[in-house]
Chains A and B, each alone.
Chain A
Amino acid sequence: MAALLKERREFLQNLRIYLLSSGKKEEETEEIVGELEDHLYEAEKHGKSVQDIIGQSPKAYMEQLAGEMPFDYKNLLIYVPLILIGLICYNILNKAVEGVFSYSLLEAVGDIVITLIGLGLIIVLFKYVASSKLSKISEGLLFYGGSLTPIILLVALTYLDRAVDSPMIHLGLVWRILAVALACLFLIGIAIWAKTWVSIIIPFLSLSPELVLNQTGMQETSKTVLSTVITFLGLGIYIFIVFKRERKKETKIL
């Protein structure tokens, strides 16, 4: 019985991830996941497994369901620009903390392209992992490789930017203030609109330690080490709290 329960939970979770990363509406996704949960729960009482019910590979079954559900372009049109602008805002703030207000055109365009590649990669990975039975190790390796790719590309971009001359954009004082203010406003706006703290907490945790330590007369190296430690500690606590909360929600549903 416990094995069936575990199999059901895993299947439903994977189905949810698969449909959402296939661009299906959240509402419709929850509806079909809820309906299948009801069915699988009833079937479980008669000792039937997920495999007995779907009668084919999970991937084939998920594809069949997804094939009947319309693609939600509205979601894509809202979220992709939102995430992009959010990341640009973060970039502006990140540079502002370091006191840098000039951007090379190559870097600015490259950042956007790499961000798009990274987003695409995440979606493809989630879909793939949710629909195929992979070991935890290969799952981890895939996500590791997936998150490493944009970082490698960013490093490559930095070197390319040094080697190639591209037009520079310099911001004057008024534009600096405006850019920082707009970036902050936008990140707060995302937080309010999407009802999430992520867009405030992550920039705050990663930027504020450096900003505060810059005011002290501390040495450069110890400043870097200390601000990194504070950032990671903060992120760790934040992720722990979010994880705990999600766990609680999940046990309430099932």
Chain B
Amino acid sequence: MSSSQILKGILEGCLLSVISKGEIYGYEMIEKLSTYGFTMVSEGSIYPLLIRMRKEGLVTTRSKKLPSGGPKRKYYSLTEQGKEELDSFKQKWRVISDSVNQLMEDD
């Protein structure tokens, strides 16, 4: 597994978490992620992931017209399956991060 693939898996988990807080669109997700210091991926890299997550049935989308006019904005929300995926990611992440942290502290 290359480092970018690991990062993709983590990014997917984080996106699930961000979307679980309520309906949200792409740019807002990036803003949320960056407030947590999540800046190691380019902003555009969330879109191929979002396409895949929708294909896998983890998220659904809804287009809303903006009050200011212009193009419609696409909002994402989690499906039941997405919520389950988020729970399983949280568990896996806890195990990984705990063991990595312990290992690093021993150095």
A38 contacts B71, C-beta separation under 8 Å? yes
For residue B51, which residue of chain A has the nearest CB? Answer: A68
Q: What residues make up the interface of A, taking CB atoms closer than 8 Å to B?
A: 31-32, 34-39, 41-43, 48, 52-56, 61, 64-65, 67-69, 253
CA distance A54 to B44 in the complex (A): 5
Apart from the given pairs A42-B27, A52-B42, 19 other A-B contacts in the complex at a CB distance below 8 Å: A32-B51, A34-B71, A34-B72, A34-B74, A35-B74, A36-B47, A38-B26, A38-B73, A39-B27, A39-B30, A39-B44, A41-B70, A53-B43, A53-B44, A55-B45, A65-B48, A67-B48, A69-B51, A253-B71
Give the most central of A31, A41, A68, A253: most B CB within 10 Å: A68
B27 contacts A43, C-beta separation under 8 Å? yes
CA distance A43 to B55 in the complex (A): 26
* A residues near B32, Cβ cutoff 8 Å: none
Task: Determine if B62 is an interface residue (Cβ-Cβ < 8 Å).
Answer: no
**Chain B's interface: helix, strand, loop or mixed, by majority?**
helix
Task: Determine if B52 is an interface residue (Cβ-Cβ < 8 Å).
Answer: yes
For residue B54, which residue of chain A has the nearest CB? Answer: A68
B42 contacts A55, C-beta separation under 8 Å? yes
Pairs A–B under 8 Å by Cβ, sample size 5: A35-B47, A38-B25, A38-B74, A54-B42, A54-B44
A22, chain B: closest CB distance, angstroms? 14
For residue B25, which residue of chain A has the nearest CB? Answer: A38
* B residues near A65, Cβ cutoff 8 Å: 47-48, 51
B27 contacts A56, C-beta separation under 8 Å? no
* A residues near B73, Cβ cutoff 8 Å: 38
Residues of B within 8 A of A (CB-CB), count? 19
A68 contacts B52, C-beta separation under 8 Å? yes
B61, chain A: closest CB distance, angstroms? 8
A55 contacts B44, C-beta separation under 8 Å? yes
Scoring B residues 33 to 56 as 1 if CB is less than 8 Å from chain A, else 0, what string do you get? Answer: 000000001111101100110010
CA distance A253 to B71 in the complex (A): 7
A32 contacts B47, C-beta separation under 8 Å? yes
A39 contacts B51, C-beta separation under 8 Å? no
* A residues near B45, Cβ cutoff 8 Å: 55, 64
For residue B72, which residue of chain A has the nearest CB? Answer: A34
Given contacts A38-B71, A68-B52, contact A43 B43 (CB under 8 A): yes
The 3 residue pairs across chains A and B that have the minimum distance between CB atoms: A55-B42, A54-B44, A68-B51
Given contacts A68-B55, A69-B51, A253-B71, contact A35 B43 (CB under 8 A): no
